């Protein structure tokens, strides 16, 4: 059979239903999809346009970043070691007010470059000017779920304008970049959007058949503000207004009760766990272990590169696992296989893409990465799951493939001019802060 690409001789971490790990495997790709994933021995014969000899490497599903604000790479390092409120109000929001659409494009390009190099093949973004984010994603070749941000913060007219704009953007970008981009609506948070606006968003999302991406219970201040204003917690409030559903992606979920978790579980709400940003801003530690026990699907997110300060899901896997162990006071919490599930197949489910990506099995899109295992820090290989979670780094990724297209091979990015993007984005960032 004729196929476009063959990858052979590698270990394969399938993350399929049986969680099979294949020692010496073969992957065949045709028309952007996986045609065959299995052992080399006994595999059908394929004629391929291109063959990657991958002995000594491991193939695994591309990693999924469930919560970020990609354009914020331009603000990386601009305000450090500050609390969330000061950070947002004194530095981030004033600078964001000066952002031009073109900045959004370049900031996203820089983030896409970093994600390709670190083996992230799909990310969920919430920001303004998502059309510019989409343009960068299209050029980079990544897959993304984009949520135009809607925020009110005491200015209803502004909220209304952003809402109308978001709907136009969602309609315009649906199916953009050969279908690699799907859309959501992105109401910022309960404390920054009124119930009226949130109800409008819910109605529009259902009508447009797109999901919703929202920040939920990130800081104790916001949780208390909402409670004193509405006499209920954020989760209860959203539940009461009929906002919650399986198409809702809630980022953070730190300051919620066990009862809240049950409500989220009942509605099939998905959660993004963003351990590094939660630690960096000291907003608290979500109880991911209990959420998963209650049946909530939890993926991993980096949050924006200005509050992390990187876009590396390998790092997020390790820190995310460690943080839950500390929280529980029990090192058995969030074991390595579960963490890899969160970064791949559960992440895909969080983004409504589990039929499309998140595991390597025939029929799914060919979104995968190759890591070089011949590294001192990956030696010996007593336990491949442990090595991937606790020892591997984004920099071990040498090949990144999305939709069957090679975005990086042997460390060389194919879709973007790395040197140009780095130079240009450094200039754009300098210009931004001097405005």
Q: Which is nearer to a copy of itself, 56 or 179 (CB)?
A: 56
Q: Which residue lies nearer to a copy of itself by CB, 41 or 81?
A: 81
Span near a copy of itself by CB under 8 A; candidates 29-37, 161-169, 357-365, 375-383: 375-383
Q: How far apart are CA 269 and CA 32, in angstroms?
A: 30
Q: Token pair of 224, please?
A: 């208390």
- Nearest residue to 64 (alpha-carbon basis) of 384, 286, 271, 312: 312
Near a copy of itself by CB under 8 A: residue from 18, 97, 329, 434: 329
Q: Which candidate, 175, 196, 174, 195, places its Cα nearest to that of 185?
A: 174
Sole binder of a copy of itself in the list 381, 412, 420, 435 (CB under 8 A): 381
- Residue 332 in contact with a copy of itself, rule: CB under 8 A: yes
CA distance 9 to 23: 8
Site for a copy of itself in 75-134 (CB under 8 A): 75-78, 80-84, 87, 110-111, 113-114, 117-118
Options 44, 101, 331, 363; binder of a copy of itself; rule CB under 8 A: 331
Can you say how many angstroms the Cα of residue 426 is from the centroid of all Cα atoms in its chain?
A: 24
Q: Given the complex with a copy of itself, which of 158 and 420 has the nearer CB atom?
A: 420
State the nearest-atom distance from the C-beta of 218 to a copy of itself, in Å: 13
CB-nearer residue toward a copy of itself: 84 or 249 = 84
Query: Is 115 or 183 the residue whose CB approaches a copy of itself more closely?
Result: 115
> CB of 386: closest distance to a copy of itself in angstroms?
4
Spell out, one character per residue from 396 to 435, where the chain touches a copy of itself: x when CB under 8 A holds, - when not. Answer: ----------------------xx-xx--xx--xx--x--
Q: Tell me if 133 sits within 8 A of 146, measured CB to CB.
A: yes
Query: Which span sits near a copy of itself by CB under 8 A: 14-22, 123-131, 223-231, 332-340?
Result: 332-340
Q: How far is the CB of 422 from a copy of itself (least distance, A)?
A: 5
Residues between 195 and 214 with contacts to a copy of itself, criterion CB under 8 A: none
For 255-287, the DSSP string reads S--HHHHHHHHHTT-EEEE-HHHHHHTT-----
- Using rule CB under 8 A, residue 24 touches a copy of itself: no
Task: Give the range of 25-33, 181-189, 209-217, 316-324 binding a copy of itself by CB under 8 A.
Answer: 316-324
**167 vs 256 by CB, closer to a copy of itself:** 256
73 binds a copy of itself (CB under 8 A): yes
Of 264, 164, 288, the residue nearest 214 (C-alpha) = 264
Cβ–Cβ under 8 Å, residues 304 and 104: no
How buried is 100 (Cβ within 10 angstroms: 0-12 exposed, 13-18 middle, 19+ buried)?
Answer: middle
Rounded to the nearest angstrom, the gap between the alpha carbon of residue 412 and the centroid of all alpha carbons in its chain is 23
- Work out how close the CB of 275 gets to a copy of itself at its nearest, in angstroms, rounded to a whole number: 9
Please give the sequence-ordered ranges of beta strands (E in DSSP) within 233-382, or none if there are none: 248-252, 270-273, 298-300, 368-372
Tell me: does residue 383 bind a copy of itself (CB under 8 A): yes
Candidate ranges 124-132, 171-179, 282-290, 344-352; the one touching a copy of itself (CB under 8 A) = 282-290
Shortest approach of a copy of itself to residue 433 CB, angstroms?
Answer: 7
285 preceded by cis ω (within 30°)?
A: no
- Spatial neighbors of 12 by CB under 8 A, at least 6 apart, are 20, 21, 22, 25, 27, 37, 58, 59, 60, 360
* CA atoms within a 13 Å half-sphere pointing along the CA-CB vector of 154: 0
**Contact yes or no for 354/347 (Cβ under 8 A):** no
Q: Which of 308, 399, 400, 415 binds a copy of itself (CB under 8 A)?
A: 308
Q: DSSP characters for 130-165?
A: HHHHHHHHHHHT-EEEEEEEE--TT-HHHHHHHHHH
Q: Select the residue interacting with a copy of itself from 326, 355, 363, 412 (CB under 8 A).
A: 326
Is position 9 an interface residue for a copy of itself (rule: CB under 8 A)?
A: no
- By CB under 8 A, the count of residues binding a copy of itself is 73
Per CB under 8 A, does 276 bind a copy of itself?
yes
Q: Looking at beta carbons only, is 67 or 76 nearer to a copy of itself? A: 76
């Amino acid at each position: 059979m004729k196929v476009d690409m063959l990858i052979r001789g590698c270990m394969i971490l399938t993350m399929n239903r049986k969680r099979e790990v294949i020692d010496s495997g073969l992957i065949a790709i045709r028309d952007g999809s996986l045609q065959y994933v299995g052992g080399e021995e006994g595999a059908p014969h394929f004629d391929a346009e291109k063959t990657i000899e991958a002995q000594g490497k491991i193939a695994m599903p591309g990693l999924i970043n469930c919560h970020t604000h990609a354009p914020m790479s331009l603000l990386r390092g601009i305000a450090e070691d500050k609390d969330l409120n000061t950070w947002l109000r004194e530095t981030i929001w004033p600078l964001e007010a000066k952002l031009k659409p073109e900045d959004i494009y370049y900031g996203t390009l820089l983030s896409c470059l970093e994600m390709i190099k670190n083996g992230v093949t799909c990310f969920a973004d919430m920001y303004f000017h998502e059309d510019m984010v989409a343009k960068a994603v299209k050029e980079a070749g990544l897959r993304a779920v984009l949520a135009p941000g809607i925020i009110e913060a005491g200015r209803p007219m502004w909220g209304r304008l952003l809402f109308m704009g978001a709907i136009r953007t969602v309609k315009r970008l649906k199916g953009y970049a050969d279908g690699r981009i799907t859309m959501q609506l992105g109401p910022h948070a309960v404390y920054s959007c009124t119930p009226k606006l949130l109800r409008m968003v819910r109605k529009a999302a259902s009508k447009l058949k797109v999901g919703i991406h929202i920040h939920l219970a990130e800081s104790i201040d916001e949780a208390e503000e909402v409670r004193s204003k509405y006499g209920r917690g954020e989760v209860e409030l959203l539940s009461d207004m009929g906002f919650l559903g399986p198409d809702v992606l809630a980022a953070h979920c730190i300051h919620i009760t066990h009862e809240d978790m049950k409500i989220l579980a009942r509605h099939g709400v998905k959660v993004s766990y963003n351990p590094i940003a939660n630690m960096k801003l000291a907003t608290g530690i979500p109880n991911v272990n209990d959420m998963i026990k209650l049946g909530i699907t939890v993926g991993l997110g980096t949050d924006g590169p200005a509050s992390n300060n990187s876009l590396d899901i390998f790092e997020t896997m390790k820190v995310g696992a460690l943080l839950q162990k500390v929280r529980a006071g029990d090192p058995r919490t969030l074991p390595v296989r579960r963490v890899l599930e969160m970064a791949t197949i559960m992440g895909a489910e969080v983004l409504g893409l589990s039929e499309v990506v998140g595991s390597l099995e025939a029929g799914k899109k060919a979104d995968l990465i190759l890591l070089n295992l011949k590294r001192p820090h990956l030696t010996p290989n007593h336990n491949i799951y442990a090595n991937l979670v606790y020892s591997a780094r984004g920099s071990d990724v040498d090949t990144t493939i999305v939709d069957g297209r090679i975005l990086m091979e042997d460390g060389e990015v194919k879709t973007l001019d790395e040197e140009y993007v780095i130079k240009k984005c450094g200039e754009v960032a300098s210009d931004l802060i001097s405005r």
